[in-house]
Amino acid sequence: MELEEIEEKYYQNAQRRGVPTEAEMLAYLKEEGQWTDADEKVITEKTLYLENLKTTLNKLILKADVERQKSIIAKETKLLNEKTAQKIQLVGNTCERYAKDRLNDFYIIKSFYKNQELTEQLFTQDEYDELESHDIKKVVLKYNELFESFSEEGIQYTILEDFYHPYLGFAEDSMQFYGKPFCELTYNQIRLIVYTRVFKNIFDNNENIPESIRKDPAKLIEFGSSSKEERDKAKDKLDKGDGGTIVGAKKEDYERLGVKKPSGSVSLHEEAKKKGGTLNMEDLMKLHGVT
């Protein structure tokens, strides 16, 4: 049975017992004035705003610009999460929430077995439902502890290790990679092969990846997600050899583009600090050799 079918079964069970749906609860809250169309609009607009911020992030070249954009994204994400949490608290228990909670229980039940052959489950659904709350807490903590050893970050770092490199070429075919079809893979096996494909794609489609980020999954994904077109434009400007520079670029920015920092380039930020924080036109002309 597919997970969607299992979740739907739990949803129907809750509905038969009279648990309200999310739509019904929102209609009630709206009628009572506790959650309005304006509140819902905030979530919709902030979600769209965040999507636009992330799109812009992928077009930025300079690290300072990237970090500034990330800071804005973090701030807006926090505001969105707070508003969403308010909505969830007001809506309370619904068929949807019950179904998701029960699906989480299903994951846990299917993760514990009595034997190494994984043929006999530790709990049946009924046995799990009859556990005391403190026993359930122990099981959940153990589940989280074991699952943490297969964290996304851990999987990503493993893929970027030297010993793993020979396996990159087999990621497109699960039969070559695991010896079984994709539909028979476990969740963690799927994550491993998917991230293998992601990093292989980044390596195959990007030249001059800085050595400093080749084993850093977060920075490598950020590099692969950034606009190749924008990087190529900036690189082309520098490759012309006519003394062109990128305003505000630092050494690490040039390394990211795969070019050497022009020997005569200067940092406007550093020069401005020497002048008390600002540069006038005369200062700018001198910095660029115009007299």
Quote the tokens at residue 231: 């990087």
Alpha carbon distance 126, 116 (integer Å): 23
**What confidence score (pLDDT) does residue 277 get?**
60
pTM over 0.75, yes/no = no
Strand-pairing partners, residue 121, are 113
Alpha carbon distance 79, 43 (integer Å): 9
Alpha carbon distance 211, 26 (integer Å): 52
**What confidence score (pLDDT) does residue 208 get?**
77
Alpha carbon distance 230, 251 (integer Å): 18
- For 205, residues 6+ apart whose C-beta sits below 8 A from its C-beta are 224, 228
Per-residue pLDDT of the chain (291 residues; tens, 9 = 90+): 678 899 999 999 999 999 999 999 999 999 999 999 999 999 999 999 999 999 888 788 777 888 899 999 999 999 999 999 999 999 999 999 999 999 999 989 999 999 999 899 999 999 999 999 999 999 999 999 888 888 999 999 999 999 999 999 998 888 999 999 988 888 889 999 999 999 999 999 887 788 888 999 988 888 887 756 666 666 665 555 544 555 556 666 666 665 555 554 455 555 556 666 665 656 655 654 444
Alpha carbon distance 252, 50 (integer Å): 27
**What confidence score (pLDDT) does residue 257 get?**
61
**What confidence score (pLDDT) does residue 291 get?**
47
Residue 154's nearest CA partner among 211, 146, 77, 205 is 146
How many other C-beta atoms are found inside a 10 Å radius of the C-beta of residue 195?
19
**What confidence score (pLDDT) does residue 35 get?**
97
